[in-house]
Amino acid sequence: MQVALRVSLSDSHVDSRSTKSQRQILVAAKALGHERLPVNLCLVLDHSGSMAGTPLERLQQASLRLIDRLQSGDRLSIVAFNHFATALVPHQSIVDPAAIKQKVLNLRADGGTAIDEGLKLGIEELAKGNQGAVSQIFLLTDGENEHGDNHRCLKLASLAPEHNITMHTLGFGSNWNQQILEQVADAGGGSLRYIESPNQIDTEFARLFDRLQAVGITNTYVRLCPGPQFSLATHKPFAQVQPDTIELSHSSEAKSWIVRLGDLLTSQEKQVLINCYIARLPVGANTIATLQICSGQSPLTPEQPIVVQAQTPYQSNPDPLVQNAVLTLAKYRQAQMAELKLQQGDRQAAVTLLQSAAQTARQIGDFQGAMVLSASATQLQAGQELSPITRKKTLIVSKTFIQ
């Protein structure tokens, strides 16, 4: 499988007289061609008492439709959890789908909620067959982790990349912890989905499964090798901006920086923004760093030089695609800061930040996101409280460009 790699600078020109120039680098990677990889899927499903009735019925029907989409050679496990977890469907190949479906239909709602127990068992089940497959967890819950440990959830999610597992979270209703589910999805290299009504469960499962089937390469990462004039910004230098916005961690290895990309899709680029500084350079073309996409120990692309042109006099050369990525990240960070200010009781600061996020969304053509962000700002400005549902919608539109 080949990778299409595109590397762009926010401005490929710098002033040769400047001692330090700030730039953003957009790294866009996409898998080329597509031979469907075997699927190794684990559904981690909340069946606590609050899921009784229509929510559990819709969850069961959505799960059955996912089972119908699996093919010969695919593997499935289903973990059901309330205040403890059980392997409802232990890890297995799709040989007898009718028997699997019956186990799903036998599920009943009762008990409390221990998300970490579900995650732990889900990772264990997936790890039984993750070689040469796209291994993903779909975790759906409608509640707080009342019988579990949120810190343990985050620790388990951080282990997912080590097992080549991508972790998606789906929050149903209004009572789930948006901070925890977002952090679990971010650490697991997946996405956070919000399901307002039971009828949406099937749609969101289908969207995630479509993305899963478009995975062309798993376990990828960026290796960035800096030159002497190159340095990273000290605060949050790496962020994913497509398909969802995620703050990324990085590590150092043999005079290079490593940033995990995870799954590369054939259907959509994965875009990462790097915030950096460039020291004074002599007039002319200068290679400030090299960049490469790898998987495991194998390079997937040649080392690509990152070149800037130092000039006297300086003439700016902005790249609109990078600017769009910068604004996408700004929208997310403004909304995140608004939520923090709201938690601290600073309503006016939250209003200002949400208004800024709405304006930023308009600049990038995200009009649906702008509508939600602006409505939240207006509601706060009028002295009203934001409902849990409104706060969750605000979070989702800040992370995702909803078409």
Beta strand 134-141 with 165-172 is parallel
- Identify whether residues 79 and 191 lie together within a single domain: yes
- When divided into structural domains, the chain yields a total of 3
Mean pLDDT of 362-391: 96
Q: Indicate if 297 and 331 belong to the same structural domain.
A: no
∠ Cα 23 28 29 (to 5°): 150
pLDDT at 41: 97
pLDDT tens-digit profile of 210-263? 999 999 999 999 999 999 999 999 999 999 999 999 999 999 988 999 999 999
* Nearest Cα residue to 357 out of 385, 378, 343: 378
Domain boundary among 318, 348, 365: 318
pLDDT band at 78 (very low <50, low <70, confident <90, very high): very high
pLDDT the model gives residue 35:
81
Please give the helix or strand (H or E) that residue 22 lies within, else none: strand 20-32
Q: Domain check: are 190 and 205 in the same one?
A: yes
Q: Round to the nearest angstrom and report the end-to-end CA distance of the chain.
A: 29
Mean pLDDT (whole number) for 74-94 = 96
The answer to whether residues 101 and 171 belong to one domain is: yes
- Residue 150 above 70 pLDDT? yes
- pLDDT score at 163: 87
Q: Indicate whether 161 and 187 sit together in one domain.
A: yes
What value does the mean pLDDT of the chain take? 95
Per-residue DSSP letter, 237? -
What 3-state DSSP class applies to 236?
coil
Confidence class for position 1, pLDDT limits 50, 70, 90 = low
| Res. 403 pLDDT band, cuts 50 70 90 | low
**Strand partners of residue 31:** 3
**Domain identity same for 82 and 166:** yes
Of 318, 353, 378, which residue is a domain's last?
318
Could you tell me which of 81, 71, 72 has the C-alpha nearest to residue 43? 81
What does the pLDDT average to over 362-390? 96
Q: Which domain holds residue 299?
A: 2-34+217-238+245-318
SS3 content of the chain, % helix, strand, coil (to 5): 35, 35, 30
- pLDDT value, residue 82: 96
292-350 per-position pLDDT tens digit: 999 988 999 999 999 999 999 999 999 999 999 999 999 999 999 999 999 999 999 99
Do 132 and 206 lie in a common domain?
yes
Buried b (16+ CB within 10 A) or exposed e, 18-36: eeebebbbbbbbbbeeeee
Residues 105 and 163 in one domain: yes
Residue 161 confidence (pLDDT): 86
Q: How confident is the model at residue 122 (pLDDT cuts 50, 70, 90)?
A: very high
Q: What is the DSSP string of 141-198?
A: ESS--TTS-HHHHHHHHHHGGGGTEEEEEEEESS-S-HHHHHHHHHHTEEEEEEE-SG
Same domain, 120 and 153: yes
CA-CA distance, 114 to 145, in Å (whole number)? 5
pLDDT tens digit sequence for 36-58? 899 999 999 999 999 999 999 99
Q: With 90 as the cut, is the pLDDT of residue 34 above it?
A: no
Q: Look at residue 392 and tell me whether its pLDDT is greater than 90.
A: yes
Same domain, 116 and 195: yes
Question: What pLDDT does 84 receive?
Answer: 94
Please say whether the beta carbons of 223 and 199 come within 8 A.
Answer: no
Boundary (domain end) residue, out of 318, 342, 366: 318
